[in-house]
Chain A
Amino acid sequence: MKTKAVPLKPSARPEQGANPESFDLRSPSLVICLGPGGVGKTTISAALAVHAAMIGRAVDVMTVDPAPRLLDALGLGADSSEPVEVELEGIRHARRGGGGSARARLRALRLDPKRTFDSIVARYAPSEAARDTILENRIYRNLSGALAGVADYMAMEKLLELAANALTDLLVLDTPPAAEAIDFLDAPRRLLELLNSRAVSLLGAPGGLFRSRLRMVDIAARAVLTAFDRVTGLNLLSDIQSFVRSFDGMYEGFSARAARAQDKLRAPDTAIVVVTTAESSRIAQAREFIGALERAGLRVAAMVVNRVIAELPDAAELSSARIAPSLKRKLKRNLADYAALKTREEVSLSVLRNSLPGGAVLMVAPDLGREPRTIADLAEIGSSLRAG
């Protein structure tokens, strides 16, 4: 049961960001930030979370691989895989003043894919022996490490766990950097397919080929795996087979969870946010993300272009300024230099604007001019988000 939070004014600055025609943080119960690596996805996730808490909501933010300074800002340790309360000046003032929502709070955690996977296995394993068999399996240990896909799946899993908390209004989810948007959203399906794969489960089973109506492709897949095994001498086949077999009986639990995660992604109060920067290569990547999301039937609520060049000063100010002519020339050149970069950025932004999916808004987050290292910095980014 969720009650609507009463909006409150953050103590320090006016709500430039709460433009209802742009992206409204009052309504969603889940915000998922997707995007290529290196665009500041974690920063934007945290900034959105801080801003939402400042306007009175009870927020959890799950980060993936945050920069050390951001970890410090959020008060997270190396080991914070459970939510940790974040101190927010603005909220304390508002509570004291009585004008705000008593619900407002911010908690942060970081995703630990390996630990989450282990705990799911423990939850669904029919026995302790079955659990240990899986945890010791070589394939499992490879899969549950840093490899692509598993972190995505685990983020989904953790998401369901956190979303079940009735005391939370909004969950903001940062995601692992992905080459493809769909990597993250598709992870549960891929993992399930692997676990349920006839080709894989029949591998190495003597006579298996004759007991089942296998398609040619399955036989080919088997041939590839067998050849790989022969070439490598790894004996992976038996490990893969026992890995898949050890999930027998757990499949139901997994697949029910995955279906719930898919429902959650498509829920009307879920907002998918694609984060990018204005460099042309990133914009191209972001557009591919949007295309993939649309093909998967997922609605993009907003595009956030991070670190855009802040508003440039007025050139006219310079002509009347009483400063040395040499300095004036330098200032003019400096302005012209950054104006050129701004032009480059504008071209990228207009490409993005023209390819925006229906219903999505384009937002820009002006460059702070420094690395965000405090909650105040995150609040500043959150409140300076504006329609682009």
Chain B
Amino acid sequence: MSDAAVAIDVRDLRKRYGEFDAVRGIDISVRRGEVFGLLGPNGAGKTTTVEILEGYRARSGGDVSVLGHDPGRRSHELRQRIGIVLQSGGIYSHITPREALHHWASFYPHPRDVDEVIALAGLHGAADVRSRRLSGGQLRRLDFALALVGDPELIFLDEPTTGFDPEARRSAWETIRKLRELGKTILLTTHYLDEAQELADRVAIVKDGRILAIGAPRELGVGASHYRIAWRDRDGELVERHTDDPTSLLAQLTADALARGETLDELSVARPTLEDVYLELTADG
């Protein structure tokens, strides 16, 4: 891959806090225009990794390149080109979203139009309300809006929907998809499987500071686990079978059922989900 096509390149990244190794040799390469997900349980080292890439933390070892820059040097130019949605970032209590966006826009050489950003983030009704009166969901939209107003090429989203109700999550997902359509590169951390599956082009599953698996969500699913075939038998019991070859198992099951003159009630065939892979990979022991 040429350098111009790579937004983030990480080689053997390590981070040690005292005696604790939070990140133990992570390699990732994020292409431009890609939505890349870091998926893992709490304490896996996701936020540490992202905060090193954002320039908040110094790494203990490894090579890191973000848009061709070493984020550890905290160059002004790099910060003009990235947008950051922190896991929890606050704002002045007495500022309105519109004022905050105008202020933030002044930091950047080519900001987006403030009204456009308000619309993009879904802040229409709340743009002129002081932040202390905004709901949690509205504040999160403001986080998005502030990260977008500088028109960054690369956006970091650290657990963007943690603590959201389902509706707020859907709308945050909608915003992230719009960003992708705008050609933005996105690095997303999450501990929600469905979020990674919905949004990410590729996912790295992280645990204990290491990457356990990396790939497109569907590839990860196919590679690691079995198809699950389930139905309800004559006594109403749910029966479940796992196989790598669903075609022949189904043929056999349906042939047997027909021969007995029975039906396979509620018959379902499920592809392995990211969740199965995730549980398999992150299971202790």
Decide if A and B are genuine partners: no
Interface residues of A (CB under 8 A from B): none
